Amino acid sequence: DTGVSQDPRHKITKRGQNVTFRCDPISEHNRLYWYRQTLGQGPEFLTYFQNEAQLEKSRLLSDRFSAERPKGSFSTLEIQRTEQGDSAMYLCASRQTSNEQFFGPGTRLTVL
Amino acid sequence: GDSVTQMEGPVTLSEEAFLTINCTYTATGYPSLFWYVQYPGEGLQLLLKATKADDKGSNKGFEATYRKETTSFHLEKGSVQVSDSAVYFCALSGDSSYKLIFGSGTRLLVRP
């Protein structure tokens, strides 16, 4: 499968713990995006990378959130000191030159 | 800022009925417009897109026309099938980041 992959698919954690998600984009896609989707809502933009450079961060991305894309390939999204309000589906998408973003299956985070 | 508003669901139709899901947008420039679909248990998939005024996007019997004068991109299908049951998201991409701004989604349920 050459699509966007995300790991893990599900994560249950206790409040205050740190979690890290991984996204592997489609090979050679230079842009990678993170979104967050809560129940009954559309995805909301969090941040994006062009190659290894993080070019934009949403105001939704508090100081507890950090994202990296070393070497411009896979990306990680870390949430420190998780809160119940962080419970959501975290989506990753990648894009090359066409206008289409290809989405991964998402990581569902539940904070107890 | 840019935003997307789409009709609330759920929309319940009988098989072979005509479908319209309304979508309007607010944007400062000339955005590209998209419809994404999320089938049960699956990730977001691009359904169709339009990149400039009066363009018509079409795929799998679905159509939407980019109407600049009414800032709308309504989704239509002449005859829905049970397999069309899903959540449909209208989205725009309005700047050089190509990040997507989504509406809240409309759930469609088609009954046999």
B69's CB contacts (< 8 A; 6+ apart) are: none
β-pair type (B44-50, B106-111): unpaired
Return the pLDDT at B94.
86
Residue B48 predicted with pLDDT over 90: yes
Over residues B10-30, the pLDDT tens digits come to 999 999 999 999 999 999 888
Return the pLDDT at A28.
85
A55 in contact with B at a CB cutoff of 8 Å? Answer: yes
CB contact under 8 A, B89 and A42: yes
A13's CB contacts (< 8 A; 6+ apart) are: A19, A82, A109, A110, A111, A112
Name the pLDDT band for A25 (thresholds 50, 70, 90).
very high
Q: Which residue has the higher pLDDT, B42 or B55?
A: B55
CA distance B61 to A7: 34
Q: Give, in order, the Cα–Cα distances in Å from B92 to each of A39, A48, B14, B39, B40.
A: 20, 16, 30, 20, 23
Give the one of A33, A41, A105 whose C-beta lies nearest to B99's C-beta. Answer: A33
β-pair type (A10-13, A107-111): parallel
Q: Which residue has the higher pLDDT, A111 or A99?
A: A111
Mean pLDDT of the residues in chain A: 94
Name the pLDDT band for A1 (thresholds 50, 70, 90).
low
Over residues A57-80, the pLDDT tens digits come to 999 888 999 999 998 899 999 999
Distance (Å) from the alpha carbon of B45 to chain A's nearest alpha carbon = 7
CB contact under 8 A, B44 and A41: no
CB contacts, 8 Å: A35 with chain B: 100
B2's CB contacts (< 8 A; 6+ apart) are: B25, B26, B27, B28, B31, B92, B94, B101
CB contact under 8 A, B98 and A99: yes
